Amino acid sequence: MDKYIYDEKNGLWYELQGDYYLPCLKLPKEESRHIGVWGQRHLLKAENQMLWVQKMNNIHNAAMEVVSNDLIYA
């Protein structure tokens, strides 16, 4: 059996892996993009969950303080 075969129907190369031919696929080069505030928060959560919880609690408490001071007790 050939190690590599080409399928003209779909234009893909296949490589023999054991008893099966698997497509030879490559991921496109990753582009550097600005992910924004929510993307940054998600990355922070994925890397360090405790730090993420601390920062989210801090944001929540600051927002509650603003609402309390400006709207409720004004």
Residue 5's pLDDT band (cuts 50, 70, 90): very high
53-55-56-62 Cα dihedral, nearest 10 degrees? 140
Q: How far is CA 30 from CA 12, 26, 27, in A?
A: 22, 12, 8
Q: What SS3 class is residue 16? A: strand
18 DSSP 8-state letter = T
User: Which pLDDT belongs to residue 37?
Assistant: 87
pLDDT tens digits, residue range 14-67?
999 999 999 999 888 888 888 888 888 788 888 888 998 999 999 999 999 999
Structure-block tokens of residue 22:
């698997």
This model's pTM is above 0.75: no
Contact 4, 13 (CB under 8 A): yes
